A and B are shown apart, each in its own frame.
Chain A
């Protein structure tokens, strides 16, 4: 695997993304007062890059996850979310990496992998879309490929704003795991990738279940409306 030099923790080149992050962090910190809750005593390694996978129920999620984990966070965003050139430039300046979901975007994946190899966190929503009911949908497999290629752990988290506007947002942090620890060969097979995608989904559900256990709230699953 190609050796990539790690970035220093503090550097002027990160100022354009760190400044908005600090301001957004203060604003969102006041509004949502996010609380970080670990599901086990095993804490994520802060010295290495990581691929953070989260559910996606609101546009505030990337900021809540970023400020709660207190690490410089890059975000994977669909090309559509990147919008026009101005919005795209601003988002990229804040650490967004555009991924075109309509093609096998190897260039976008390469960017994300290099960022993680340099020791940073990348946040992605492997459901691939916003699910306002807070449910964890079927995950896509790209996360497995990226984490394997970068040689970083996957950290599953579950983010949830409270039922009332004044409730604190919660970030449930699961246990990180390495793809290489879960496969027998040097490269994962397609069957491994499918199995590991299901494993990620299971780990996210564990975080979700922990949230409801911790808060004592009832988990109301959305009912499927029948047509006609």
Chain B
């Protein structure tokens, strides 16, 4: 499974099906389109670390504006 699909799976778990992940692309914005708040960002970062076995820093989080940003970040660390 590619990184985007795994990320969609994580989003689905975090939001427990409350968001439709089928329409999520690399262009999807986390705050504007998904409505992520700071606590959800933190949770997603923790979930990403667990799922992809990568380590994120405080500098990485503001760079995560779109789903594509996360995909690129994760793939560069794997």
Contacts and interface: CB of A to CB of B under 8 A. Distances in A.
Given A142-B39, A190-B40, A193-B39, A106 B16 contact: no
A140 B38 CA distance: 11
A193 B36 CA distance: 14
Contacts of A149: 46
Q: For the complex, would chain B's binding face be called helix, strand, loop or mixed by DSSP majority?
A: helix
A145 interface: yes
B15 A189 contact: yes
A107 B57 contact: yes
Interface stretch (A4-12, A40-48, A97-105, A172-180): A97-105
B16 A103 contact: no
A168 to B, nearest CB: 37
Interface in A1-29: 1
B52 interface: no
A149 B44 CA distance: 12
A100 B58 CA distance: 10
For the complex of A and B, list the 9 residue pairs with the smallest distance between their C-beta atoms, beginning with the closest. A189-B16, A104-B42, A104-B41, A141-B39, A106-B45, A104-B61, A107-B58, A187-B13, A104-B38
Given A103-B38, A104-B58, 14 more contacts: A100-B58, A104-B38, A106-B42, A106-B45, A106-B61, A109-B42, A140-B39, A149-B46, A185-B16, A190-B15, A190-B16, A190-B18, A190-B43, A192-B16
A94 B32 CA distance: 41
Interface in A86-126: 100, 103-107, 109
A105 B47 CA distance: 14
Contacts of A107: 57-58
A191 interface: yes
Given A189-B15, A190-B18, A106 B39 contact: no
